[in-house]
Amino acid sequence: MSEKAARCLGSMFQRISIAINAEKDRLSELDGAIGDADHGITMALGFMAVNAELAKLDLAQALPSEIFSVAASAFLDAVGASTGPLYATALRRASQALKTDESLSPACQAMIVDEMRAGIQQRGKGQRGDKTMLDAWIPAAEAAMAAKSHSRDVAAMWNAIVEAAEAGAGSTSSMVAARGRAARLGERSLGHVDPGAASAVIILRAMRDTFVGGKAGG
């Protein structure tokens, strides 16, 4: 099972990288309105680095927790900006949690989403309504844990996760930024979707496509 799970995660990070790369110009354009206009490039570089490091692993021998640990280190090494430590902490939290359950069952997948949310929140000290990536990650994690508690099937769970993230990201256009570089703009940050929330949706969609398509963990 661990070999299948590791290969599934390898595929997941490839999907994330491809999806982010395809949207990097849009993400940087969103960032240009309220930040440094480099979010798409930064995220693309980060996940390219993750896949370069994962390519060195023998996925037949690797555990899921190891995949996330390698991803965390690679992302942090490649991305020095604030996004680097946030996602590195998210991926590291997921790695630690996976050491107690390497199955990638639907419950385990829900745990991954919630631990990534927890890592971002722990590192960034943010909350919902700050106009950050947490406006996508927090509702996504809530949807994941609700689906877990109701034992929903993997497709229903991931559709709920992505829908919650999309709604959360969309809501950032009506927020005034309270954290990050965009906070310097004050009221001028209104009317713009947060690029971090937008990239979070892309990541979660790629995760859904992997787990629902691959039927990881049954």
d(CA 207, CA 178): 28
Q: pTM score, two decimals?
A: 0.93
Structural domain for 78, as ranges: 1-213
Q: Tell me: the pLDDT tens digits for 170-211? A: 999 887 665 565 555 555 556 678 999 999 999 999 999 999
d(CA 47, CA 124): 20
Structure token pair of residue 113: 């989403």
pLDDT of residue 174: 81
Q: What are the C-alpha distances in Å from 46 to residues 42, 137, 166, 199?
A: 6, 18, 22, 12
In percent, how much of the chain has pLDDT > 90?
77
Q: Residue 38: inside a domain, yes or no? A: yes
- Residue 143 belongs to domain with CATH number: 1.25.40.340
Residue identified by tokens 């309270």 is 178
Q: Residue 127: inside a domain, yes or no? A: yes
Q: Residue 165: inside a domain, yes or no? A: yes
Q: Tell me: the pLDDT tens digits for 188-199? A: 556 678 999 999
Q: Residue 218: inside a domain, yes or no? A: no
Structure token pair of residue 205: 């969609």
Q: Residue 15: inside a domain, yes or no? A: yes
Backbone angles phi, psi at 159, to 5 degrees: -65, -40
Q: Residue 74: inside a domain, yes or no? A: yes
Closest C-alpha among 107, 94, 113, 98 to residue 2: 98
Q: Tell me: the pLDDT tens digits for 105-143? A: 999 999 999 999 999 999 998 899 888 999 999 999 999
Q: Residue 173: inside a domain, yes or no? A: yes
Number of domains, the chain: 1
* Predicted confidence (pLDDT) at residue 217 exceeds the cutoff of 50: no
d(CA 6, CA 65): 9
Q: Residue 184: inside a domain, yes or no? A: yes
Mean pLDDT of 38-51: 96
